[in-house]
Chains A and B, each alone.
Chain A
Amino acid sequence: MRPSHEKELAILATRARLLGLDAVYGCQSGHLGGSFSAMDVLTVLYRDVMRVDPKAPRDPDRDRFVLSKGHCTPALYPTLALRGFFPIDDLKQFRSIEGHMSGHAEMHHVAGVDMSTGSLGQGLSAAVGMALAGKLDRKKYRVYALTGDGELAEGQIWEAAMAAAKYKLDNLCAIVDVNGLQIDGRTADVMPTEPLDQKWAAFGWNVIRADGHDYAAIRAAFDAAAKAKGKPTVILAATVKGKGVSFMENDPGWHGKAPNSEQYEQARAELCARLAELEG
């Protein structure tokens, strides 16, 4: 990956983090920790990987994305806005009764959202259905689904994993945002889901491990996934919860908490400094 492109992705992801921060601060609710851990993966996905057209969000041939960790709209909505699916200004309506920007991902009112999600463990099944439809119609589109690592405790994930392998869905790519934390603490303490590579491999998946904050590594993982034939691919993205804001990083307390004004100013200052550094 060219350094200039890497920089472009970093700028996009930082801007998305700022927009997510503003949205959550504005309505004083929402999930920043898991959004920030997944932001770099989502940025690469929508900037470099997915074939989508913001002018034709329902194009039947488009690639699809399912946010199985449906609470991470402070990552998805800014990413979609920056990709041009809707005006950035719409993010001001995040979680507001007056607006259409639902707290969890909503497919009918937010342009670019391919599936309504929110209840954990369900998104991968929907992605399997999309991938099956693609195979049935001999379409070229690919389907992506992002789950959390804590989310993998949901049994339905593994039901879907079995189904994807059964139907050899090589048009499906799951990404696990392995940030190691969930609401109640460390995933290793709440309900250990590791060893993830062995689990997914045993379920018949092609497994790729990647640093979820290294743009070149993320891009390489998606490229490898697209080349894998005969089985679905999972990218185990090693990430840091709350990535990009020093006091949010690796703190499960920031799973679903809005910052107060002081915290907001500090977070904003850190992200703006990063942006200035990148753009400077």
Chain B
Amino acid sequence: MGKKIATRAAYGDAIVRLGAVDPDLVVLDADLSGSTMTKAFSKAYPDRFFNMGIAEADMAGVAAGLATCGKKPFYSSFAMFAAGRAWEQVRNSIAYPHLNVKVVGSHGGLSVGEDGATHQCIEDLAIMRAIPGMTVVCPCDAYETEKAVEALLAYDGPAYLRLGRGGVETVTDRVKGYRFRLGKGVCLRGGTDVTIVAAGMTVQMALAAAELLAKRGVSARVIDMHTIKPLDTAILKKAALETGAIVTTEEANVVGGLGGAVAEFLAENCPVPVVRHGVQDVFGRSGEASAVLKAYGITPEGIAKSAKKALKLKKG
């Protein structure tokens, strides 16, 4: 197992590296640059960094204005504020005019840990996904984050990037032929009985769950669905047809996020049992991150359990 790196840290490194090659890249933050990891960018390119204070709504609007002038703004805050507090600004000032702004929500999900429910944004994937034309990306590790930031900088349009607080094992760097493409899922492990579709830190958990299932004689496919919108429907349909049962897993509310997106598509196009693993429509609470995740069943065992349920539904 390699060194654990937080996706927010990989983001901080990526924007510094890309800042050198793209003079139009500008970064905004709302008094959390030490946590969102934009601080290194602020030191490297002070002219292109704007600390907007604790004012996320204004930050979103200012980013929109910068984008109308050809700048490529990435604005950062915790997911709760980047996506939550400023939702209507994202919707009306950024997404409706289809402006080239990247909304970056760090500290997404329950793994914020000790800060508790007010800071554990479990709705960001759903509310960002509900906006027409919005791209929603949730990378699983440092390597994928770096590639995602490159792709998002190259993409001319509004997007949401969800990052995590805690260190996670890097897994995508050793995937043969791995290439990050927006809207294209990655099959990380082959399998024939059930498919686990994951995004963010649950990707590593899904791989561990597949190991657990293998020991019990279940062959589980694992798909890293780093782009939740636009959804890779081809890889999903193939998985549904070939394995006949789907589990989605996300460190977010099961309402409207990855699970919602997958269930909506499959129900309309290729109906197979879909079990949505994640936060079951409740608020989180304070605790050390791994303890909080465990308390809410966001673990490899929890995913394996959901897979068993999906298999049972498949057999009817």
List A residues at the B interface (Cβ < 8 Å).
Answer: 60, 64, 66, 106-108, 114-119, 121-134, 136-137, 155-156, 159-160, 162-163, 166-167
Which one of B62-70, B115-123, B124-132, B274-282 is at the A interface?
B62-70
Are B96 and A129 in touch, CB under 8 angstroms? no
Which of A108, A126, A136, A137 has most B Cβ within 10 Å?
A126
Are A163 and B62 in touch, CB under 8 angstroms? yes
Are B63 and A159 in touch, CB under 8 angstroms? no
Q: Contacts A126-B64, A133-B69, A136-B26; is A156 near B97 (CB within 8 Å)?
A: no
Which secondary structure dominates where chain B touches chain A? helix
How far is B96's CA from A117's CA once the two chains are assembled, in angstroms? Answer: 9
Which one of B60, B71, B97 contacts A125 once the chains associate, using CB atoms below 8 Å? B60
**Which of chain A's residues has its CB closest to B93's CB?**
A122
**Which of chain A's residues has its CB closest to B60's CB?**
A125
Are A130 and B61 in touch, CB under 8 angstroms? no
Which one of B48, B58, B60, B70 contacts A163 once the chains associate, using CB atoms below 8 Å? B58
Which of A114, A123, A163 has most B Cβ within 10 Å?
A163
Within 219-266 of B, Cβ neighbours of A (below 8 Å) are at none
Are A133 and B48 in touch, CB under 8 angstroms? no
How far is B70's CA from A64's CA once the two chains are assembled, in angstroms? Answer: 14
Beyond the given A125-B89, A127-B65, A162-B55, could you list 19 further A-B residue pairs with CB under 8 A, ordered by the A residue number?
A: A64-B68, A107-B68, A107-B97, A108-B98, A115-B97, A116-B92, A116-B93, A119-B88, A122-B57, A125-B64, A128-B58, A129-B66, A129-B67, A129-B69, A131-B65, A137-B69, A156-B58, A162-B53, A163-B53
Residue-by-residue, is B74-109 near A (CB-CB < 8 Å gives 1, otherwise 0)?
000000000000001100110011100000000000
Residue-by-residue, is B11-51 near A (CB-CB < 8 Å gives 1, otherwise 0)?
00000000000000010000000000000000000011010
10 residue pairs bridging A and B, Cβ less than 8 Å apart: A108-B97, A121-B57, A122-B89, A125-B64, A125-B65, A129-B61, A137-B69, A159-B53, A163-B53, A167-B50
Are B57 and A155 in touch, CB under 8 angstroms? yes
**Which of chain A's residues has its CB closest to B63's CB?**
A129
How far is B67's CA from A95's CA once the two chains are assembled, in angstroms? Answer: 27
Write out the residue numbers on chain B whose beta carbons fall within 8 Å of the beta carbon of A133.
Answer: 65-66, 68-71
Are A122 and B61 in touch, CB under 8 angstroms? yes
**Which of chain B's residues has its CB closest to A137's CB?**
B69
Q: In angstroms, how far is the closest chain B Cβ from the Cβ of A208?
A: 23
B208 at the A/B interface (Cβ < 8 Å)? no
